[in-house]
Chain A
Amino acid sequence: MVRRRNRGEAKVDVNLTPLLDIVLQLITFFMMLVHFGTKIEGASAGIRLPVAPAALPGSELALDRMVVTIDARGALVVGEEAVQGRMADAWWAEQAQRRRDGLETLGGPGAELPTLVIIRADKDASYGAVRKALVSAQERGFAHFTLVVLRSLR
């Protein structure tokens, strides 16, 4: 007959040093990757951005920004609708008027609106459609634009 000795409660010592070491490694990893810079806003769902070489942007994104999406057919995407022609012109006029009204309280806008227009255009859109959008915007007083492209992998 075997008698089992009552060994009692065994004290378990958890060695926390390796755990702490791994956690600090992870913290260091994420610290190296943290980037508090300005992200280019706007979603590109349904839009395939072109791949193009680009110089480093010279300035941070301005506070007053407006994102404009142009789909593969060259139509301006407003909300969930795609507008072209006169409706697109009317949209640009409305956006410009809103900003001018807002700037009235600050002493009035100059000839140019300070708004930065961020253009996300599909790579298959025609150059003519994008150029016409730029012309429409320019006629309404927008002068600052930025084209969002994808950096080449090489």
Chain B
Amino acid sequence: MDRTPRRKQGIPEDVPFPVTPMLDMAFQLLAFFILTFQAPTRETRIDLYLPTTPIALPGSSPGQAKPRPNLPAETVLETDLMVRAEANDRGVLKALTLNGADVPDAEALGLRLRRYASVLDGKPLRVYLVADDRLRYEEAARLIGACSSAGVAAIRLADAGDRRSPQQGRP
């Protein structure tokens, strides 16, 4: 006699699917991403490398009667460009020139530098930035940023009254 029970033919029972643990894990993940969330910021940076070469040091200490060495500028006419920035008494940019040619603003300076860089065929482009010390830092940062975004390989920072280049660096 066959005693195996026969399965009932019919509609299968509902299979319970516990959503609660899944929701719990989802909340855990959400909490993690909320806690690690960082609001987007407009901050960015301009990297500068200013090597501590002898040319970068200032002149002799005050009180010592040593003439300032007249260091010859190591310029290469082909790849070195001079950017001069003059400011008025309020620190606003009054005049900007690139190798003697007038440039309206930092954006135009960036465009011209990009054109120079494309013409140089891979040679590193170097810029001497001679700026009035009265110039506002924001204007100077725009000029340095324009050089950086144009692909300038090295920037030398100097003030308008110093013929030497106290600093030499690359962005």
Contacts and interface: CB of A to CB of B under 8 A. Distances in A.
A111 B52 contact: yes
A144 B49 contact: yes
Interface string B128-153: 00011111111111101110110100
Q: Is the interface of B mostly helix, strand, loop or mixed?
A: mixed
Contact of B151 (A24, A31, A55): A55
Contact of B148 (A54, A131, A143, A153): A54
A97 interface: no
Contacts of A16: 19-20, 23
A144 to B, nearest CB: 6
Contact of A30 (B33, B87, B141, B151): B33
Contacts of B138: 50-52, 123-124
Given A55-B148, A131-B157, A149-B141, A23 B171 contact: no
A52 B137 CA distance: 10
Nearest to B57: A139
A147 to B, nearest CB: 5
Contacts of B131: 127
Contacts of B40: 33
A2 B47 CA distance: 85
Contact of A129 (B30, B46, B137): B137
Interface in A44-97: 49-55, 57-59, 70
Interface string B41-54: 11111111111100
B4 interface: no
A129 to B, nearest CB: 7
Contacts of A146: 45-48
A142 to B, nearest CB: 8
A70 B33 CA distance: 35
A10 interface: no
Interface of B: 19-20, 22-23, 26-27, 29-30, 33-34, 36-38, 40-52, 56-58, 87, 91, 106-107, 110, 131-142, 144-146, 148-149, 151, 157, 159, 166-167, 169, 171
Interface of A: 16-17, 19-20, 23-24, 26-27, 30-31, 33-36, 39-40, 49-55, 57-59, 70, 111-112, 118, 121-131, 134-135, 138-139, 141-151, 153
Q: Which 3 A-B pairs have the closest CB atoms?
A: A128-B133, A50-B138, A30-B33
20 contacts: A16-B19, A19-B23, A20-B26, A52-B145, A53-B145, A53-B146, A54-B44, A54-B45, A124-B137, A125-B137, A127-B140, A128-B135, A131-B159, A134-B48, A134-B157, A135-B56, A135-B58, A139-B57, A144-B49, A146-B46
